[in-house]
Amino acid sequence: MMCRTYARTEGARVVVVVVTVMVTGLLAIVAPARAQGASGPATPPEMVAAYGALADTILAAKRAEAELVRSILAATHAHAQVQLSRAQRAITAGDAKAAQAAVEALAADVGQVATEGDNAVAAVRKRLIEGGHHHNAAGEAQGLYDEGFVVVTRAAKQQLLDSSRTIGRMAAAPKADALDAEWKKVDSIYKGLTQPGK
């Protein structure tokens, strides 16, 4: 069996090749069964097993995607904590320029937690969506998730973006207590999104 597919990406070509090989192999299994006069419309067990293996692969990829996005969020959150510490030290030292830079970086990090990563990650998410992959399709249909989002809900995204803007407005004249209060909100949202079982 020959299959020609013109895919836009190398990943799509690999999927087409794997599926083509699986179908060819399954046809080789089915043909002898038909030749032997197998009775009934039952699907051959080998085909069911192959389909089950494909399902396992697809579901494992979905779990891996969720873990990868959680890792992106964890790294961004950790970077934000570093910026918060830099800002607090600069405020204590009276270094307005360093405090402003750290607070601006903190605001950007909080924004990236809200959007599950930066523009490079958004480009990958867009590619997945264009390929028909929606990690939270049911949640998107219910309005719980923005299109393509994996961990951050629509409500959490809005809260985090609000905190990012609030922190950004503090950059000109940051106050340690106000910064800490806003960070506690961010940290609470982050922990709620990344707790085990989510």
Three-state SS at 78: helix
CA dihedral for 65, 78, 120, 171, sign (positive or negative):
positive
Does residue 18 lie in a domain region?
no
**Ranges of the chain whose pLDDT falls below 50:** 1-17, 20-21
Does residue 88 lie in a domain region?
yes
Cβ within 8 Å of residue 111, ≥6 positions away: 160, 161, 164
CA nearest to 133, candidates 64, 51, 182: 64
Q: Which domain holds residue 175?
A: 65-194
Q: Is 87 exposed, middle or buried (0-12, 13-18, 19+ CB in 10 A)?
A: buried
Could you report the per-residue pLDDT of 123-141, keeping only the tens digit for each? Answer: 999 999 999 988 989 999 9
**pLDDT for residue 41:** 86
What's the number of domains the chain is made of? 1
Does residue 77 lie in a domain region?
yes
Distance in angstroms (rounded) separating the CA atoms of residues 153 and 159: 10
